[in-house]
A and B are shown apart, each in its own frame.
Chain A
Amino acid sequence: MEIKRRDFLKLLSGASGAVALGTYGCSDIIDVPEKLIELAQKGPGIVTWTNTICGQCSAGCGIKIRRIDGIPVYIKGNPTYPVNRGGMCPSGHSSLEVLFNPDRVKEPLKRIGLKESGKWDSISWNDALQLIADKMIELRNVGKPHQVAFLDGSDQPGLMNKHIAQFMKAYGSPNYYQSGQLKNNTAPYRLLQGINQLPSYDLLNSKYILSFGSNFLEEGYSPIYYTKIYSHLRDSSEHGRTRIVQIDSRISLTAANADLWIPIRPGTYGALALGIAFVLIREKLFDDNFIKNYSFGFNDWTDNKGITHLGFRSNVISNYYPEQVSKITGVPAETILKIARDLGNSRSSVVLGDQGTVDNTNGTFSQMAVHSLNALLGNFGKDGGVYFVDLPPLADLPPFDEDEIAALGNSKKPVAQSLDTNYPLADFSIDSFTKNILNDDPYPIDILFLYKGNPLFKTLNHHDFAETLKKIPLVVSFDPFITETSEYADIILPDHTFLEKWDKFCNTPTVGFTHVGIQQPVIEPLFSTRNAADVIIELSNKIDQSVANALPFQSYENEIRFSVEKLYNSGEGAIISEGVKSSWLEYLQQRGWQIGRYNSFDEFWKLLTRNGGWWNPIRQTKDYKELFKTPSGKFEFYSQNFANIINKLIETTGGESPENREKVLHSLNISVRGDKVFLPHYEAVPIEENMPLYFITFKLLTNRDGQSSNQPMMQEMFGYTVREYWNSWVEINPETAQEYGIEDKKDVWIESPIGSIKVRARLNPGIMKEVVAVPFGLGHTSYGRYAKGYGTNPITILKNKYDMINGNPALQATKVKISLAT
């Protein structure tokens, strides 16, 4: 249906809270059940506040919900929750629009007719679960439990991923995947440090922050956490202002707030990092002690067979001098010299990389090059440097006995693992997943569960992934809305919205302290929906006792309680509360005190749920042995781990021979040869010569991954920087626009080798002349009245290219041409 924007604006300008619910409850804008409207109009008007965790993205901000007579009417940041300290993004702020969204799936649905037909019939919870359980039992009975896959798009560390993994393992399938990029993004650290974790950066104590494409204020794992740090840095002038230098192809929110923006050609971040390394080395601005004692492969070295290998220093000095790097990156040589000198002479200084660096075919190598700068500066475990946060002391789920069927199923090769040499460091590759299922190789998939993430909207190879969904006989979605992905489901088991459910989150990636957040219901479920976690417990009970034994909890809430009881017993950290800052915690803990007062676990739990979470900001000093779990026990500029991986691939594809080695390296898109393969190096991105412009996408705080498209307020605010609302646009440099005869606010065609999109041109001097950029998030073909049909999805014209090492989609590896739409 068509949205009447006037109605929406009327709602916004009208009264808030319960009055708004009472007035507009039956309108098309929000959908509030009758009983709540009645309560809102006639209730005593008692106000309460409840703390919980936002579920709009994986950042897991602490929030406070204002309720009138138990009805949520307003959301604000929880000022004591350490991740966001009272801050909130607009999407979280307006997430009541998710709870009261008129397009929610209100009961279990069963598809009628063909997939994507959009025709659904209701089905009872019991019938739906029995139908699924019967199919699963059937597969187990014929020894094929591995033919069930579970795709979890939450990308959120917490309990749910463990819960699903436990269920899948007990059932007998190795095919549980978190489809986000979190684990894949750890590839550079696995190679250089042997650590399967993203680092955190001590920005508060750093004097110089050099960011390679990391749009941490908008696209980071927790933009609000970084915004708080940023505002602190800008507020403190006592010891000199921290300088922030942002390297990016366009002026992102972070670049706009930095002291210096350095434009760079997409896909060349690694080369620039190595150019900076060149200056640090030549001018002896590196940490000599760290390099000598705690690094491996910096200088040329000789192995135990007497063969001499190329070191990082020699490679950088020979190949990455500023003039050469300038040609690759478009960054002037003088600028490279200046950044490197500033970096090397500002202690502490720290280097971070994300989005621009990692979202490309050479992402892993580029991030290795960027992270190598931290090694040159000896930044590990140092104030103002890089560190790795400890896991919270939570209980693991109880061990269980895997039965024979499950053991056999779990021994099968995971279906998302490449059958050739591709993506050797991918925890999950959507490319392999799609190809293998379409080819029934190594086996078919009969049942697919989908939890969060809407992968079809985000995937590069839209067509093949849609075919995959069509091919699988039973697709079960837990989506609370009908998304592009769940259009292909056979059954939808609608999850609660995050305001109606229990969950537990911990350690938002890159956030600099150990923490746990408790999400709890702030209202009874509005409709016949269920927490997906509870549904999994119910399913396990229906399938087999051996599966049920793995999740011996009456409810997911009980499971959360079980998990956090160890926190209580640990005596570490503190439940978040006013005035509990890291300094106090450390002060008291050093003296053997704990800050909270709880005489029993029940008391602890009560306080934990009342305040919203627990944290331990005390950073344990880590030995270098803990930081560098590499074969040498040191930071490896020359990655022996990677050498071992390549050797293993060669071995599995016919054994060592120059031809096989060549074949493997070629399949991984690695153009260098010899020792350079294992050193941080620059790999050129394969591009189309006949296309003149780089095409990149970016995310906005209002709609980071497309999930907020069904919130009218977020549509109303979508392009707040350029005043484009409910619509997409393309950023074009004015000089480029002039060259193509394009004027501001005129429609243009963007044509890539695989398709075209029409969007509105917005001229912007804050983008490189050779680059055009379209925001991600709009262009839905489903997902309800507020999302469907608004804007354009730029992913649809991106080439199906990936980082061949970790399997991440290459979002900045497509070139295009543009023309005025007539």
Chain B
Amino acid sequence: MNKLFVITIILLSFGSILFAQELKLPSNPLDGRIVFEEKGCIVCHSISGYGGTKGPDLAREQYYGSFLELASIIWNHIPAMNRKFRELHIKRPRFSEKEMQDLIFFIYYLRYLGEPGSVSNGKKLLSSKGCTNCHKIAGHGSNIAPDFTELGEYSSPLYMAQIMWNHGPSMQKRMKELNIPYPVLTGDNLNDITAYIRQVSSVSTELRMSPGNPLNGKLIFENKGCTNCHQVSGGKKKTGPNLSELNLNKSVTEIAAQMWDHSPTMIEYMQEKSLTYPMFKGNEMADLIAYLYFLGFEDPPGDPSKGETVFEEKGCITCHDGGAGPDLTKIKPFNSRIQILQRMWNHASKMEDLLLIQNNKWPQLTTEEIRNLYAYLTSIIQKK
């Protein structure tokens, strides 16, 4: 086992100490697109078809997981990627801490942005979900509620979701009066419906939201009273579900649909308890959902005893326990957990060469392994 690998493991261990710290949310996860382009990631990887084809497309409805899961994916594909760099004569990029942070947030964020809707599916959904029982569109449907054709300016999915949410209580009341079943939305339903509305709309203006700001979303979550019923990240148990435990690794419109589906129960409960129903304006819903989405970025703690096994089985111990590895206690502390991945990445090229010279293989680490390894190394460092 070579020295660089050990260094990397040490870096990982320091990261685990800091990992207990509160997650620092990004204000604009899209900043990483600049890194993605400028560092040449786009030469091999595409985002829904925009970019190169040498590597996998990073945005085909794919969720890559938490920070450590992403770190594991990146770590494991370093040798293959290095081979590609050499084959294409591309200079391997180095990242600053900020660049690595932006890139990771960006890749994590892609799933949130969603996919374009299907016009044909949207047309079917408007009918099958009973929307046309009240609304008219392209000359078909009822006049009870506003004509969708004239509401084209709200036809971006999230704007529509926000309006639906805000009108939720009055809409549900009216639906009850008319004995119309409450439409349940799943998957990309909202995307498809708005894609169809956009196509038939006659208005020239279209209101859109900006991709959400998770930092702002957290404030909205607190200020709109969501914390009255919901807990996040292991807080005190509350009436509503713990949002950290829900599967919110979805696109923004899927999460919006999930919110929509739970709104009747919520409205009823809030009316009972005389609580104020939260209304959203401007970009608030996008921000809130971005915050909820980023709850999945945080990792659960690992198991130190399992981590010790990983440390031994992956050969870390060979160099670290009296071998060529550095003294863990003398490693320069990290400013943030992102710095671990940044240093891993920047040193990986030399480490790969050393492993090759010594006829050793690149140590593949699963997410579970990397998580447990963190926990183990943290405990060692704490003892020291």
> Contact mask A571-598 → B, CB, 8 Å, 1/0?
1100000110101101111111111110
- Give the complex CA separation of A685 and B47 in angstroms: 54
CB distance from B152 to the nearest CB of A (A): 11
Query: B34 and A592: CB pair below 8 A?
Result: no
| B33 at interface, CB cutoff 8 A | yes
Nearest CB in chain A to that of B36: its residue: A579
| Known contacts A593-B158, A595-B30; 6 further A-B pairs (Cβ under 8 A) | A588-B113, A590-B116, A591-B114, A591-B115, A592-B155, A592-B191
Q: How many residues of B contact A (CB 8 A)?
A: 32
CB distance from A130 to the nearest CB of B (A): 43
Q: Which of B37, B51, B204, B282 touches A393 (beta carbons < 8 Å)?
A: B204
- Give the complex CA separation of A595 and B29 in angstroms: 12
- Give the complex CA separation of A596 and B204 in angstroms: 19
Residues of B within 8 A of A571 (CB): 153, 156, 205-208
- Residues A593 and B209 in contact in the complex (CB < 8 Å), given A570-B204, A578-B34, A579-B37: yes
- Give the complex CA separation of A594 and B205 in angstroms: 13
Residues of A within 8 A of B157 (CB): 591-592
CB distance from B132 to the nearest CB of A (A): 21
Query: B282 and A599: CB pair below 8 A?
Result: yes
Chain B contacts with A in 178-228, Cβ cutoff 8 A: 191, 194, 204-211, 213
| B349 at interface, CB cutoff 8 A | no
Q: How many residues of A contact B (CB 8 A)?
A: 23
**Residue with the greatest number of chain A CB neighbours at <10 A, chosen from B51, B158, B206:** B206
- Residues A593 and B210 in contact in the complex (CB < 8 Å), given A579-B34, A583-B50, A584-B33: yes
Residues of B within 8 A of A599 (CB): 282-283
Q: Which of A578, A581, A593, A597 touches B113 (beta carbons < 8 Å)?
A: A593
Nearest CB in chain B to that of A599: its residue: B282
- Give the complex CA separation of A595 and B283 in angstroms: 12
Residues of B within 8 A of A393 (CB): 204
Cross-chain pairs A/B with CB under 8 angstroms, 8 sampled: A570-B204, A579-B33, A579-B34, A588-B211, A592-B157, A592-B191, A593-B210, A599-B283
CB distance from B199 to the nearest CB of A (A): 13
Chain A contacts with B in 112-141, Cβ cutoff 8 A: none
- Give the complex CA separation of A590 and B34 in angstroms: 20
CB distance from A707 to the nearest CB of B (A): 37
> Contact mask A379-403 → B, CB, 8 Å, 1/0?
0000000000000010000000000
Residues of B within 8 A of A581 (CB): 37
Residues of A within 8 A of B194 (CB): 592
CB distance from B251 to the nearest CB of A (A): 9
- Give the complex CA separation of A578 and B282 in angstroms: 24
- Give the complex CA separation of A599 and B114 in angstroms: 23
| A569 at interface, CB cutoff 8 A | yes
| B297 at interface, CB cutoff 8 A | no
- Give the complex CA separation of A393 and B206 in angstroms: 12
Query: B205 and A569: CB pair below 8 A?
Result: yes
- Give the complex CA separation of A583 and B45 in angstroms: 13
Which B residues lie at the A interface, using CB under 8 A? 30-31, 33-34, 37, 47-48, 50-51, 113-116, 153, 155-159, 191, 194, 204-211, 213, 282-283
- Give the complex CA separation of A571 and B159 in angstroms: 12
Nearest CB in chain A to that of B59: its residue: A587
Residues of B within 8 A of A596 (CB): 210
- Give the complex CA separation of A584 and B33 in angstroms: 9
- Give the complex CA separation of A588 and B286 in angstroms: 14
- Give the complex CA separation of A590 and B253 in angstroms: 14
- Give the complex CA separation of A570 and B208 in angstroms: 9
- Residues A591 and B113 in contact in the complex (CB < 8 Å), given A572-B206, A599-B283: yes
CB distance from A596 to the nearest CB of B (A): 6
CB distance from A597 to the nearest CB of B (A): 4
Query: A594 and B208: CB pair below 8 A?
Result: yes
Residues of B within 8 A of A592 (CB): 114, 155-159, 191, 194, 208-209
Query: A593 and B37: CB pair below 8 A?
Result: no
Nearest CB in chain B to that of A597: its residue: B210
Chain A contacts with B in 19-65, Cβ cutoff 8 A: none
Residues of A within 8 A of B47 (CB): 583, 587
Nearest CB in chain B to that of A579: its residue: B34
CB distance from B165 to the nearest CB of A (A): 16
Nearest CB in chain A to that of B159: its residue: A592
Nearest CB in chain B to that of A591: its residue: B114
Residues of A within 8 A of B30 (CB): 595
- Give the complex CA separation of A317 and B153 in angstroms: 54
- Give the complex CA separation of A778 and B188 in angstroms: 64
- Give the complex CA separation of A226 and B209 in angstroms: 34
Nearest CB in chain B to that of A596: its residue: B210
Residues of B within 8 A of A569 (CB): 205
**Residue with the greatest number of chain B CB neighbours at <10 A, chosen from A393, A570, A587, A599:** A587
Q: Which 8 residue pairs are nearest across A and B when measured between Cβ atoms? A: A592-B156, A579-B34, A594-B208, A583-B50, A597-B210, A590-B116, A571-B206, A571-B208
CB distance from A551 to the nearest CB of B (A): 25
Query: B283 and A593: CB pair below 8 A?
Result: no
- Give the complex CA separation of A583 and B207 in angstroms: 20
CB distance from A582 to the nearest CB of B (A): 9
CB distance from B190 to the nearest CB of A (A): 10
- Give the complex CA separation of A584 and B31 in angstroms: 12
Query: A587 and B50: CB pair below 8 A?
Result: yes
Residues of B within 8 A of A572 (CB): 206
Nearest CB in chain A to that of B114: its residue: A591
Residues of B within 8 A of A570 (CB): 204-206
Residues of B within 8 A of A590 (CB): 116
**Residue with the greatest number of chain A CB neighbours at <10 A, chosen from B33, B115, B157:** B33
Residues of A within 8 A of B211 (CB): 588, 593, 595
Query: A593 and B156: CB pair below 8 A?
Result: yes
Residues of B within 8 A of A595 (CB): 30, 210-211
Residues of B within 8 A of A588 (CB): 113, 211
Residues of A within 8 A of B115 (CB): 591
Query: B283 and A597: CB pair below 8 A?
Result: yes
- Give the complex CA separation of A571 and B283 in angstroms: 13
Q: Which of B31, B153, B205, B208 touches A593 (beta carbons < 8 Å)?
A: B208
- Give the complex CA separation of A583 and B283 in angstroms: 23
Query: A591 and B283: CB pair below 8 A?
Result: no
- Give the complex CA separation of A69 and B191 in angstroms: 51
- Give the complex CA separation of A578 and B34 in angstroms: 7
Nearest CB in chain A to that of B33: its residue: A579
Residues of B within 8 A of A589 (CB): 208
- Give the complex CA separation of A581 and B213 in angstroms: 21
- Give the complex CA separation of A128 and B66 in angstroms: 71
- Give the complex CA separation of A589 and B116 in angstroms: 9
- Give the complex CA separation of A581 and B47 in angstroms: 13
Residues of A within 8 A of B206 (CB): 570-572
- Give the complex CA separation of A572 and B155 in angstroms: 13
Nearest CB in chain A to that of B51: its residue: A583
- Give the complex CA separation of A584 and B51 in angstroms: 11
Residues of A within 8 A of B282 (CB): 599
- Give the complex CA separation of A121 and B194 in angstroms: 66
- Give the complex CA separation of A591 and B37 in angstroms: 20
Residues of B within 8 A of A591 (CB): 113-116, 157, 191
CB distance from A575 to the nearest CB of B (A): 12
Residues of A within 8 A of B114 (CB): 591-592
**Residue with the greatest number of chain B CB neighbours at <10 A, chosen from A579, A591, A595:** A591
CB distance from A608 to the nearest CB of B (A): 15
Nearest CB in chain A to that of B283: its residue: A597
Residues of A within 8 A of B213 (CB): 597
Chain A contacts with B in 516-546, Cβ cutoff 8 A: none
- Give the complex CA separation of A266 and B46 in angstroms: 48
Nearest CB in chain A to that of B31: its residue: A579
- Give the complex CA separation of A594 and B209 in angstroms: 6
- Give the complex CA separation of A596 and B28 in angstroms: 11
Nearest CB in chain B to that of A594: its residue: B208
CB distance from B147 to the nearest CB of A (A): 20
Residues of B within 8 A of A587 (CB): 47-48, 50, 113
- Give the complex CA separation of A589 and B157 in angstroms: 11
- Give the complex CA separation of A393 and B204 in angstroms: 9
Nearest CB in chain B to that of A581: its residue: B37
